[in-house]
Amino acid sequence: MAQPRRSVPLILDVDTGIDDSLALLYACASPEAEIVAVTCSAGNVDARQVAENTRAVLELAGRPDVEVAVGREAPLLRELVTTPETHGPRGIGWAELPPPVMPLSPRRSPELIVEEARRRPGEITLVTLAPLTNVAIAALREPELPRLLRRLVIMGGAYRVPGNTTPVSEWNVHVDPDAARIVFGAWARAVEADMAAGRGETAGTGVGRTSAEDVQRASWGNASPTVPRALAIGLDVTEQARLLPRHLGALADRAGTAAPALEARVRSGDAPPPENLVLRYLADALRFYMEFHETSDHFYGAFIHDPFVVAAALDDRLVRTEPVAVDVETGGAISAGQTVADWRHLWGRPANADVAVEGDADAFLERLVDRVGALAARRG
Ligand code: BDR
Ligand code: CA
C-alpha cells in the first residue's frame, strides 16, 4: 500500500478514556499528523478529568507542547453520564500517570475550533472521539464551519448494527444526542445550501462515490456538494478492530522489549510492570478495558474505536463509505440517541454524511502496532 499523504492538520476532540488515550498515542506516533490542538469534552469521565488525562498522555508521548482546551462541561440539555465501569474511575483503567505539568489553554474548546478553522480555511480535519457537545456549540457560533474545515470525522453512531449503550445508541451519541443532532443538521444544511446555490460539482471527488450517490444526485440536479460531507465512523466498523493481548506482545516486540512479559502484564496485575513507561501505561490501561470487554462482550480483548477513527482520518483508504442522509433521534421513550440513516432515500434529502460500512481492521491494527511500538521505543 502506498504511504498516506504528508502533513494532515488535526484537531482531536476527546473524552479521554482508554481508547481515546490510545488514539492520542497513535496521533503522536504518526509522522503525517500535525496535531493543532486537542479539545476536551465530558463523556467517559468529567471534563476536568478528561483534560488531566489528556495532558498526562500527551506528556507520556513527549508532546507537552500541544494546546489542550476544555469546553462546556456538561451535555447541552441533559445531565452528564459517565462510564467508570468501562474506563475505570479516572478514565485510564488500572494505569497511573504523574499529574501533568503542561498548562490548559486559556481558550474554550468551541472558540478554539472556530478560530483555527477560520485561520486555516479548508485545511483542518476535526476528529471527534467524544460526545459532540463542543462541535455543536462551534457550529452554532459559526454556521460556515462545515465549509471552513477540510473535513469533520466523527467516531459516533450505530448505523446498521446495535448500539453499545442502549439497543440503538452508541455511547458518544447517547451522552449528548441533542449535540449530535445539531452537528448532523449543520452539515445537512451546508450541503443543501451548496446544492441549492448550484455550487455542486457534477463530478465530485472524495470517499464513497457509489451508485447510492447517483441516486442522491438524481434528486438534487445532478450535482454533488463541494462542502465535504462528515465522515461518520460508527460501531459498524470500529467493532471490527479487536485489540488482543498478542497485539500488545507484537507492540512490545516492536519497541525492542520482551513480548511475553507485556502479554503477562495485560492479563494480570500480579505480573511485573514493564520498565518502559509507555508499555506500562498500555498494559495497565488496557487490562481494565479487556476485563470490561470480557464481561460485556465475551472476549479478552478490546474494541479500540477511537484509534481506528484517527487512523481513518489520516488515511481514508482504511474504510469504505456510503453517502447517506443521517439524523439523530432526541426524543423517543426507547430510541433516544439513535443515529437514523436513510439508506433507501425515503426522506429525499441529500447525503450529509459518508458513513463507514466496512473497514480494514487488520491493516489498521498492524499500523497501530508498528507506530505506537516505535513511539514506545523512542520514549523508552
Ligand atoms: C465510544 O465511547 C467511548 O466510551 C469510547 O471512548 C468511544 O469514543 C465508543 O462507543
Ligand atoms: Ca472516546
Grid cell at residue 261:
512479559
306, 308, 309, 338, best to mutate for ligand 1 pocket (most atoms within 8 Å of CB): 306
Instruction: List the domain range (segments joined by +) for residue 217.
Output: 8-199+207-254+303-379
pLDDT at 5: 57
| CATH at residue 350 | 3.90.245.10
pLDDT tens string 238-288: 999 999 999 999 999 999 999 999 999 999 999 999 999 999 999 999 999
Kindly give the distance from the C-alpha atom of residue 4 to the centroid of ligand 2, in angstroms, as a whole number: 24
Residues surrounding ion ligand 2 at CB below 5 Å? 15, 17, 20, 129-130, 306
Q: Please report whether residue 262 resides in a domain.
A: no
Q: Are 347 and 325 in contact (CB under 8 A)?
A: yes
pTM attached to this predicted model? 0.93
Q: Are 87 and 17 in contact (CB under 8 A)?
A: yes
Q: Please report whether residue 102 resides in a domain.
A: yes
Pick the atom of ligand 1 nearest to 87's CA: 4
Contacts of 8 (CB under 8 A, 6+ apart): 32, 33, 34, 125, 313, 314
Q: Which of 90, 71, 75, 72 is nearest to 21 (CA)?
A: 90
Q: What is the largest CA-CA distance in the chain?
A: 64
Q: Please report whether residue 177 resides in a domain.
A: yes
The string of DSSP letters for 256-303 reads TS-HHHHHHHHH-TTSPPPSSHHHHHHHHHHHHHHHHHHHHHSSSSEE
pLDDT at 196: 85
Q: Please report whether residue 266 resides in a domain.
A: no
Q: Please report whether residue 160 resides in a domain.
A: yes
Q: Please report whether residue 293 resides in a domain.
A: no
Q: How far apart are CA 136 and CA 133, in angstroms?
A: 5
Pick the atom of ligand 1 nearest to 15's CA: 6
Segments of the chain with pLDDT less than 50:
1, 201-211, 215, 217-222
Pick the atom of ligand 1 nearest to 238's CA: 9
pLDDT at 2: 53
Contacts of 56 (CB under 8 A, 6+ apart): 92, 97, 98, 99, 100
Q: Are 104 and 29 in contact (CB under 8 A)?
A: no
Contacts of 181 (CB under 8 A, 6+ apart): 327, 328, 330
How many domains in the chain?
1
The owner of cell 447517547 is 174
Residue 247 CA: distances (Å) to CA of 259, 286, 302, 323? 9, 12, 11, 33
Q: Please report whether residue 166 resides in a domain.
A: yes
Q: Please report whether residue 289 resides in a domain.
A: no
pLDDT at 319: 98
pLDDT at 209: 40
Q: Measured on CA atoms in the order 56, 61, 66, 71, is the torsion positive or negative?
A: negative
54, 57, 87, 129, best to mutate for ligand 1 pocket (most atoms within 8 Å of CB): 129
3-state secondary structure 50-105: HHHHHHHHHHHCCCCCCEEEECCCCCCCCCCCCCHHHHCCCCCCCCCCCCCCCCCC
